[in-house]
């Protein structure tokens, strides 16, 4: 049995939540009127956080998770609403959409032992059984 991995129906629910986050962030983005060119330009930027893996899986997982959780983009949106800064809100919404897309696609938060070991999938080479 693989530990630290969400399987079966809970996994499907977390993926559906990711799809809902992608949809909600995209709809909210459409209302701010920043233009879809900016969305397309910045949508994959959070994947730059994978560069932390150049220093190994332990640091890589921390850096990756920092860029692929909802905490920083929600904080950026809040910052943008308080300032107010439409650009901060727009970038935060694009970032949230990316996180939602990744979750819907099954890319979860990383564990420190291997890049492919996430909360939505087992460690590299491990067989994960549904129960």
The DSSP bridge partners found for residue 110 are 118
Residue 3 inside a domain? The answer is: no
User: What is the per-residue pLDDT across 47-105, written as a single tens digit (0 to 9) for each?
Assistant: 999 999 999 999 999 999 999 999 999 999 999 999 999 999 999 999 999 999 999 99
Find tokens 């959780």 and name the residue: 69
Using the predicted structure, report yes or no on whether residue 128 has a pLDDT greater than 80: no
pLDDT recorded at residue 55: 94
Residue 60 inside a domain? The answer is: yes
Using the predicted structure, report yes or no on whether residue 125 has a pLDDT greater than 70: no
Using the predicted structure, report yes or no on whether residue 127 has a pLDDT greater than 50: no
Evaluate the omega torsion of the peptide bond into residue 99 and state whether it is cis, within 30 degrees of 0. Answer: no
- What is the C-alpha to C-alpha distance for residues 128 and 35, in angstroms, rounded to an integer? 42
Using the predicted structure, report yes or no on whether residue 123 has a pLDDT greater than 80: no
Residue 63 inside a domain? The answer is: yes
Q: Which of 99, 97, 98, 86 is nearest to 32 (CA)?
A: 86
Range of the structural domain that residue 76 is part of: 8-104
Token pair of 35, please? Answer: 């233009």
Residue 50 inside a domain? The answer is: yes
Residue 1 inside a domain? The answer is: no
**What's the pTM value of the predicted model, to 2 decimals?**
0.87
Q: How many domains does the chain have?
A: 1
- What is the C-alpha to C-alpha distance for residues 61 and 54, in angstroms, rounded to an integer? 11
pLDDT recorded at residue 117: 83
Residue 2 inside a domain? The answer is: no
Residue 84 inside a domain? The answer is: yes
Residue 40 inside a domain? The answer is: yes
Q: Report the SS3 class of residue 60.
A: helix
Q: Using an 8 Å Cβ cutoff, are 88 and 80 in contact?
A: yes
Number of helical H runs and strand E runs in the chain: 5, 0
């Amino acid at each position: 049995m693989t530990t630290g991995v969400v399987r079966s129906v809970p996994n499907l629910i977390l993926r559906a939540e990711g799809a809902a986050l992608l949809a909600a962030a995209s709809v909210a983005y459409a209302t701010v009127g920043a233009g879809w060119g900016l969305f397309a330009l910045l949508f994959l930027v959070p994947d730059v956080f994978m560069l932390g893996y150049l220093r190994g899986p332990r640091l890589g997982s921390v850096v990756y998770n920092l860029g692929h959780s909802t905490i920083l983009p929600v904080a950026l949106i809040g910052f943008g609403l308080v300032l107010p800064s439409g650009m901060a809100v727009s970038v935060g919404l694009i970032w949230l959409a990316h996180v939602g897309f990744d979750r819907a696609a099954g890319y979860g938060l990383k564990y420190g032992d291997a890049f492919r070991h996430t909360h939505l999938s087992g460690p590299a080479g491990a067989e994960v059984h549904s129960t």
